[in-house]
Structure 1
Amino acid sequence: MEHLLFVVLCWGVGGFINGIAGFGAALIAMPLVTTMVPLRLAVPSCTILGVTLCFQMAWTYRQHIDFERLKPVYIGTIPGAIIGITMMQKFPAHYLKLGMGIFLFIYAVWGLFFEGKKQKVIHKGWGVVAGFCSTAISSSIGMGGPPTIVYTSLAGWTKDAVKAGIASYFIVSGILVILLQTYAGIQTKETVMLFAAAAPAVMIGARLGVMVSTKIGEFTYRKVLFGMLAVMSCVILRSAVTQLIALA
């Protein structure tokens, strides 16, 4: 019972951070949850919680969803999946993680300290690259979020549009993962029960985070976003270095 309450609390905090930044619930909750819950239960339940949270965020920011702007991201997903499977077979996962972690860390540091108040805007064609890379990385090492998040942060969108875009994209990718997990027998009665226990907390936490976010201006929000990307890069780098040490 104590373990379950701990899991619920972790996901509540994760949902709160997600409500503010638009992502990061699993980044906050999973390292803590896995100290109490086996990975075979924590990971599948996390997938369902993530999709549920994205549906909530998409509904909250539904007026800011622009599928025309998201189209380039979706275009890149199919070839990305094909290349991702190839990368999984050809390249060691730890080197892919290391490269992504280094890039993400450099980008986060630039955003935190050197971007300035005038936001840089890139061409929408980079959305195809982002969708390609996100799906390729997801197919190979399961950490495909950063490219899409980086793209939305450079596309000239408002904070609410960024959140809507991130949520919309991950609904599609998350549902695909859940279907594959179910087919493989990874989703079980236990994972669904764990999801059911944590879902109210993560949704309430997200709602509170959204309320806090309304008090945050565009410039401050971008610093929060870059800060979360910095944390994400450190998590990815830690995973890569741990694998490299184990192989040494």
Structure 2
Amino acid sequence: MEHVIFVALCWGVGGFINGIAGFGAALIAMPLITTMVPLRLAVPSCTILGVTLCLQMAWTYRKHIDFDRLKPIYIGTVPGAVVGITMMQEFPAHYLKLGMGIFLFIYALWGLFFEGKSQKVVHRGWGVVAGFCSTAISSSIGMGGPPTIVYTSLAGWAKDTVKAGIASYFIVSGVLVISLQTYAGIQTKETVMLFAAAAPAVMIGARLGVLLSRRIGEFTYRKVLFGMLAVMACIILRSAVTQLVAIA
């Protein structure tokens, strides 16, 4: 019972951060949750919670959804999900975390201190790469947000368009991942029960975060975005290093 309350509190905080930045729920909640809950339960329940949260976010920002801009990201989801399920079963999670953490930290520092006022918009083709990487990471270790977030931050989208795009994408990729997880026997009665216990907390937290985010302008939002990425990079790196030390 204690671990269920702990999971709900973690997801409530994660939902609040997600409401402000448009992402971050899993990256905040998962490192904490996995200290008490095994990955075999935490990752699948995280996927269901992520889709639920994204449905709420997509509805909130539905007027800003641009499906044409999202097409390149969608293309990468199917191969990414297949690769991710394979990685979860075959490839050590700490190596994935270490690589993603290093890249994310470097990018966050660039955004915080070196990003110019005039942004160079990246080619749409990078959206395919982002969709592939996000879905692969999400289905393997439950922290797949960064690649898509990096792409949307470089694509010249406005604040609310970024939030709507991220939410819409993760609904599609999340449903796909849940389907594959169910087929592979990864989704179980235990993971669904863990989801049900945390769902109210994450939705309430997200709603409070959205209300606060409406007071934030575009420039401040980008700094919040990069600041969040830096914090998340540190969380991911800490988790990876801890696992590597334990193995050694």
- Shorter-normalised TM-score: what interval? 0.7 to 0.9
- Encode CA deviations 1:184-239: one digit per residue, 9 max, x unaligned: 33323332222222211111110110010000001111111111111222233233
The separation in 1 between residues aligned to 2:89 and 2:204, in whole angstroms, is 41
Unpaired segments of 5 or more residues in structure 1? none
Paired residues for 1:53-202 under 5 Å: 53-80=53-80, 94-138=94-138, 143-202=143-202
Are the equivalent residues in 1 in contact too, given 2:81–2:176 (CA < 8 A)? no
Q: Which residue of 1 aligns with 2:26?
A: 26
- Shift in CA distance, 148/209, structure 1 to aligned 2, threshold 3 Å: same
Supply the distance in 2 between the matched residues of 1:97 and 1:154 (Cα, whole angstroms). Answer: 22
**Once the 2 structures are TM-superposed, how far is the Cα of residue 171 of structure 1 from its aligned partner?**
1.1
CA 1:137–1:37: 2 relative to 1, 3 Å: closer
Closer/same/farther in 2, CA of residues 44 and 159 from structure 1, 3 Å limit: same
1:245 aligned onto 2:245 = yes
Q: Deviations over 1:146-197 (max 9, x none)?
A: 2111000111111111111111111112112212222233323332222222
Residue 42 (structure 1) aligns with: 42
Q: Is the contact between residue 47 and residue 142 of structure 2 (CA under 8 Å) also seen in structure 1?
A: no
Contact 1:97/1:237 (<8 A) preserved: yes
> Residues 186 and 120 from structure 1, CA distance in 2 versus in 1: closer, same or farther, beyond 3 angstroms?
same
* Corresponding residue number in structure 1 for 2:10: 10
- With 186-195 and 23-32 compared, the bigger mean Cα shift is at 186-195
How many equivalent residue pairs? 248
Structure 1 residue 93: Cα displacement: 5.4
Alignment correspondent of 1:216: 216
Distance 1:41 1:84 in 2: 16
Mean Cα deviation higher: 156-165 or 89-98? 89-98
CA displacement, residues 63-116 of structure 1 (integer Å, 9 cap, x when unaligned): 111110011112233454566688889976544443332221111001111214
Distance in 1 separating the partners of 2:39 and 2:140: 19
Cα pair distance change 1:121/1:39, threshold 3 Å: same
**Cα offset for 1:49?**
0.8
Q: Quick check: 2:43–2:142 contact (8 Å CA) kept in 1?
A: no
| Distance (Å, rounded) in 2 between the aligned partners of 1:91 and 1:198 | 28
Structure with bigger gyration radius = 1
Q: In 2, are the aligned partners of 1:117 and 1:219 still within 8 Å (CA)?
A: no
CA distance in 2, matches of 1:102, 1:133: 15
Structure 2, unaligned runs of 5 or more? none
Mean Cα deviation higher: 89-98 or 150-159: 89-98
Query: In angstroms, what is the RMSD of aligned CA positions?
Result: 2.7
For residues 185 and 87 of structure 2, what CA distance do their matches in structure 1 show?
25
CA contact (8 A) 1:20 1:212 kept: yes
Counting aligned pairs with the same residue, the percent is 89
CA gap of 1:131–1:117, structure 2 versus 1, over 3 A, is: same
3-state SS in 2 of match to 1:216: coil
